[in-house]
Structure 1
Amino acid sequence: MSEISEEMRMTVVESREWYMAAYAPEGVPTSDHLKLRTVKISLALDSIPDQHVVLETLFISLDPYLRSRMTGREDGLYSPQYNLNEVVSAFGVGRVVRSKALIRKIDADAGILLPEYISTLGVPGFAAWIGIQVVAEPIKPGSNVFISAAAGAVGMYAGQLAKLKGCRVVGSTGSDEKVRLIKEEFGYDDAFNYHTETDYDAALSKYFPNGIDVYLDNVGGEMLEAVLNHVNRHAKIPLCGMISEYNKVWTERKGVRNLLNLVGKEVKMQGFLLGSYLDRFGDFAKEMESHLKERKINSKLKIVHGIDKFLESLGSLFTSSNIGKVVIQVK
């Protein structure tokens, strides 16, 4: 553990935190919904509840699921809503200042960059691993695998894991630059820009002449509907997320009209939450850490500096501007 600064040895320190000022039922949250404030925190041991720690935050993970906790509606989305005035919580990496709990400790000498613990070895990597390694199993070498949002935090790992299984992997993404990236750096066999190839049904006919065996869905909506026209018999569709629908109330979300194909092709379509697979985290961490050290898995991080950039960075997740995993470096 690194030495604590003299400032952190003080009894009371100031902390800046984002909190939920008002719910955002639709659209991207703004400064009307999320606000930044400064509070004082006591470091005295008797002020720390049991099973809690005081952390000096170093890196914060920006993930799309955070948006689903800000609507004020319990409408089937997979995360509980923040309470008004509640601090927005997120995964991160921090330095322990005071502790009354056991937590996951990072080996600082392992040769792995700290942000990778909230990317390759964090929620995005775990989601990709569960989708490909668990929900979609068994995947045979030579299977045709399609990944949407393929240059995103989950998609970049999902495609590489499928390639390690000997699959043919194609991805969709939001720019020609990202198409080049996932082919050249992440090893995708092919990819297309969904902004220029807007007829998804025609695009999938071109890139999957022999049909789709596995589709890891990150976007939902029209892309999911198009995929169902191209699935092979006994195909598997792990539903990781539906980012195209997060900022809409349910009555404005795109419906999928061809679910009958699931019956005729005997397709398995399954949503999954990481909390249901925590017993597999050890297996995931061991395997992915090995891939990372052996450079079998590549990662792309977008590191934004400063806690004040949280709101702006959260909004960027719902555009085509980001590549890879977005991380805020606080210190």
Structure 2
Amino acid sequence: MNKSIVLKSRPEGTPTLENFEFKEIEKPEPQDGEVLLKTKFVSVDPYLRGRMRDEKSYIEPFELDQPLASAVVAEVVESKHEKFQKGDFLTGMLEWKMFQTSNAKNLRKVNGDQVSLSAYLGVLGMTGLTAYFGMTDIGVPEKGETLLVSGAAGAVGSIAGQIGKIKGLKVVGIAGSDEKIKLIQEKFNFDEGINYGKTDDMTAAIKELAPDGIDVYFDNVGSYTLDAAMNNINRHGRVINCGAISLYNETEQPKGPRLETTLVKKSVKMQGFIVRNYEDQFNEGIQQLSKWLASGELKHEETIVEGFDQIPNAFIDLFDGKNIGKMVVKVD
């Protein structure tokens, strides 16, 4: 038996299960130069929400009645490819199918000897690389500075904060529960934490924990949290616009404070990016992240949901903050 998950309808606001459809399809046979892959782990990520909109962006939108896709770790169960053999594990962008064929052109071989296979979707995958290049290329952290991270217990934020600590910064994280605040301080070595669920005045909360101001802000949230960070930004501060999950399900263009005067008066750099901008440097990033992981300087956390049928649920749960670290679906 083979299954796929297709986009049945485009969400209005927060996605629901009605936007997805499971289809039973034939199990394919690999042709010359192809491998037959069995899905083992599937990454669900907030940015996929943008691809569900029928609008021009940095990546093509998903088509209706066609399979969705994301980063996947899959096992080679049959090979007619000269470089890969049965039992190899490959990772890359693949469709949400239990079995599929591929020419493996954009896939790379991984193994679970040193780290779990799912780690290649998180700390050693796109999320780890996103944190690495955002911090090192845009944040340009300097020892003694202060870093603020929103979404601090998430896949990207938890890595970004730890990179800040490795670089010698004071790190303050924002997350949505006392459990997550405890996690980022005890496991990820953050200096301070703010539970936004218990905070009425985010500007004041940041000022209390970072009285000398913020030099680098790694933004995964956008909206009012970004406004509060900008109220505390130092001269020559750097704002890394990685994500804006608080706005992804908005149906109208949100309004907010105008940041131009702050950017000019304080000579602040604010830059958005996508990890694919650094595609030719991925090996460098993976090597450095691997070294930090091996030395114990870098730790990672995963929320693993089991079952192919649970992929849509796991994706939707991201918007309620039900994940700690990377959200991954394990396919039995």
TM-score for the superposition, normalised by structure 2: 0.89
What residue identity is the alignment partner of 1:320?
Answer: G
Matched, 1:230 2:217: no
State how 1:180-219 maps to structure 2 within 5 Å.
180-219=182-221
How far the C-alpha of 1:211 sits from its partner, in A, is 0.6
CA RMSD in angstroms comes to 1.5
How far the C-alpha of 1:92 sits from its partner, in A, is 1.1
How far the C-alpha of 1:35 sits from its partner, in A, is 0.9
Is the alpha carbon distance of 1:222 and 1:44 closer, same or farther for their aligned partners in structure 2, counting shifts above 3 Å? closer
| C-alpha distance in structure 2 between counterparts of 1:30 and 1:15, whole Å | 23
The question of whether the paired residues in 2 share the 8 Å contact of 1:68 and 1:79 is answered with no
3-state secondary structure, aligned to 2:49: helix
Matched, 1:70 2:71: no
Residue by residue, what CA displacement relative to the aligned partner does 1:279-312 show, whole Å, maximum 9, x if unpaired?
Answer: 1101101011111122211111111100111111
| C-alpha distance in structure 2 between counterparts of 1:33 and 1:232, whole Å | 43
Is the alpha carbon distance of 1:249 and 1:86 closer, same or farther for their aligned partners in structure 2, counting shifts above 3 Å? same
Aligned match of 2:84: none
3-state secondary structure, aligned to 1:90: strand
| C-alpha distance in structure 1 between counterparts of 2:233 and 2:314, whole Å | 35
Aligned match of 1:21: 8
The question of whether the paired residues in 2 share the 8 Å contact of 1:228 and 1:259 is answered with no
Aligned match of 1:86: 66
How far the C-alpha of 1:86 sits from its partner, in A, is 1.2
What residue identity is the alignment partner of 2:50?
Answer: S
Specify which of 132, 139, 142 is matched with residue 129 of structure 1: 132
| C-alpha distance in structure 2 between counterparts of 1:229 and 1:125, whole Å | 28
Specify which of 158, 161, 180 is matched with residue 160 of structure 2: 158
3-state secondary structure, aligned to 1:180: helix
What residue identity is the alignment partner of 2:49?
Answer: R
| C-alpha distance in structure 2 between counterparts of 1:118 and 1:54, whole Å | 20
Residue by residue, what CA displacement relative to the aligned partner does 1:159-216 show, whole Å, maximum 9, x if unpaired?
Answer: 0000000000000000011011000000000001001012111111111111100000
State how 1:272-287 maps to structure 2 within 5 Å.
272-287=273-288
Aligned match of 2:100: none
| C-alpha distance in structure 2 between counterparts of 1:42 and 1:258, whole Å | 53
How far the C-alpha of 1:101 sits from its partner, in A, is 3.6
Is the alpha carbon distance of 1:198 and 1:275 closer, same or farther for their aligned partners in structure 2, counting shifts above 3 Å? same
| C-alpha distance in structure 1 between counterparts of 2:257 and 2:290, whole Å | 38
3-state secondary structure, aligned to 2:155: coil
| C-alpha distance in structure 1 between counterparts of 2:260 and 2:180, whole Å | 30
| C-alpha distance in structure 2 between counterparts of 1:237 and 1:145, whole Å | 10
Aligned match of 1:37: 23
3-state secondary structure, aligned to 1:57: strand
Residue by residue, what CA displacement relative to the aligned partner does 1:36-68 show, whole Å, maximum 9, x if unpaired?
Answer: 11110321425xxx6x54311100011111111
How far the C-alpha of 1:118 sits from its partner, in A, is 0.6
Residue by residue, what CA displacement relative to the aligned partner does 1:67-100 show, whole Å, maximum 9, x if unpaired?
Answer: 11112233xx543210111100010111123344
- Over the matched positions of the two proteins, sequence identity in percent amounts to 37
Matched, 1:145 2:147: yes
TM-score for the superposition, normalised by structure 1: 0.89
Is the alpha carbon distance of 1:184 and 1:85 closer, same or farther for their aligned partners in structure 2, counting shifts above 3 Å? same
Is the alpha carbon distance of 1:92 and 1:101 closer, same or farther for their aligned partners in structure 2, counting shifts above 3 Å? closer
| C-alpha distance in structure 2 between counterparts of 1:179 and 1:108, whole Å | 30
| C-alpha distance in structure 1 between counterparts of 2:195 and 2:232, whole Å | 18
- Aligned residues between the structures: 308
What residue identity is the alignment partner of 2:305?
Answer: V
The question of whether the paired residues in 1 share the 8 Å contact of 2:242 and 2:273 is answered with yes
Runs of 4+ in 1 over 4 A off after TM superposition: none
Specify which of 104, 107, 110 is matched with residue 108 of structure 2: 104
Aligned match of 1:319: 320
3-state secondary structure, aligned to 2:206: helix
Q: Where does the alignment leave 5 or more consecutive residues of structure 1 unmatched?
A: 1-13
How far the C-alpha of 1:250 sits from its partner, in A, is 4.2
Deviating more after overlay: 276-285 vs 253-262: 253-262
The question of whether the paired residues in 1 share the 8 Å contact of 2:30 and 2:36 is answered with no
